[in-house]
Structure 1
Amino acid sequence: MKLMRAREVPGRVATGAYVLHSGVEKWNGDEEQAAGLHGMAAAAFPFLKSVPPRRFLKLLSAAEIATGVALLAPVVPAAVAGAALTGFSGGLVALYLRTPALRKPGSIWPSQAGIGVSKDVWMLGVGLGLLTDAASRRRGD
């Protein structure tokens, strides 16, 4: 069994703790939180309109918890943790890009409302870094 490499630890621990905490905080979210998050997600991804807001919040929370645990668990391979984080954060970046109110008009740069979501790009970078590192190890680089 391979444990995470020392160079993975800072990114995995910082990101994993942040994502896990976010998921735990959402787990018992109220109707208002569920409606707000669901509304934003459904506006960016219309297929989510058919998912009830409370169910969406539980699914989002579970995805965050699972991603956070995968990042924090030293026995989870970098490729698996990286894939989970890249998928999760890729969805957040897509939400940011598909929600015009989060960006300055005609720009990719965040509006005041978009600063919180735009910062999720760092998680995408960590996830892609883990995937890249895992791929290079397989090739023997």
Structure 2
Amino acid sequence: MKLREAPPRMATGAFILHSGLQKLRGDDATAEMIHGMACGAYPVFKKLSPQQFLRMLSIGEITTGALLLAPIVPTALAGAALTGFSGALLGLYARTPGMREPGSVFPTQEGMVLAKDSWMFGIGLGLLADAAAERCPQH
């Protein structure tokens, strides 16, 4: 990991890891709310119980956060994990009614909780771009 990659990796990694650890202790009401929202955007999750989904989400967040925080993890892998994770969250934002102003990409007050994940998507793309630039010969 390069020094310039450390701040975005540490900030997003700590945020995502903390979120995942909190979800490990999620109660039934939390599991049902998060599962219901996810099923609206991604019907495949209906196959899981709310608690199964919450545990899977928690493990995914913990894994993504750990990949970002571990300096031995290559930037390309950390960037791909963050881009994939945040891309799924942005899909939830785009597919859930009431999250965006009508006819716009801009969030409603309710949508702010998901729209903020766009910064993680940008950081993930930045990490991927940095890794790609390292692989290309300099001219």
| TM over 0.5, shorter chain | yes
* Residues in 1 aligned to 2:52 and 2:119: alpha-carbon distance in whole angstroms: 27
Match of 1:98 in 2: 95
Runs (4+) off by over 3 Å: none
Q: Could you report, residue by residue, the CA deviation over 1:5-42 in whole angstroms, capped at 9, with x for unpaired residues?
A: 00001100000000000000101100000000000000
What letter corresponds to residue 119 of structure 1 in structure 2? Answer: K
Task: Indicate which of 72, 75, 78 corresponds to 1:75.
Answer: 72
- TM-score w.r.t. length of structure 2: 0.97
- TM-score w.r.t. length of structure 1: 0.96
Q: Structure 1: which 5+ residue stretches go unaligned?
A: none
* Residues in 2 aligned to 1:64 and 1:95: alpha-carbon distance in whole angstroms: 15
* Residues in 2 aligned to 1:99 and 1:140: alpha-carbon distance in whole angstroms: 43
Shift of 1:104: 1.2
* Residues in 2 aligned to 1:99 and 1:106: alpha-carbon distance in whole angstroms: 14
* Residues in 1 aligned to 2:103 and 2:97: alpha-carbon distance in whole angstroms: 9
Match of 1:108 in 2: 105
* Residues in 1 aligned to 2:84 and 2:137: alpha-carbon distance in whole angstroms: 25
What letter corresponds to residue 101 of structure 1 in structure 2? Answer: G
- For residues 60-71 of structure 1, the aligned pairs below 5 Å read 60-71=57-68
What letter corresponds to residue 41 of structure 1 in structure 2? Answer: A
Does the alignment pair 1:47 with 2:48? no
Q: Could you report, residue by residue, the CA deviation over 1:56-104 in whole angstroms, capped at 9, with x for unpaired residues?
A: 0000000000000000000000000001000000000010001121111
- Matched residues, number: 138
Q: Structure 2: which 5+ residue stretches go unaligned?
A: none
Query: Identity percentage over the alignment?
Result: 56
Does the alignment pair 1:37 with 2:34? yes
* Residues in 2 aligned to 1:92 and 1:140: alpha-carbon distance in whole angstroms: 34
- Secondary structure of the 1:25 match is helix
RMSD: 0.7
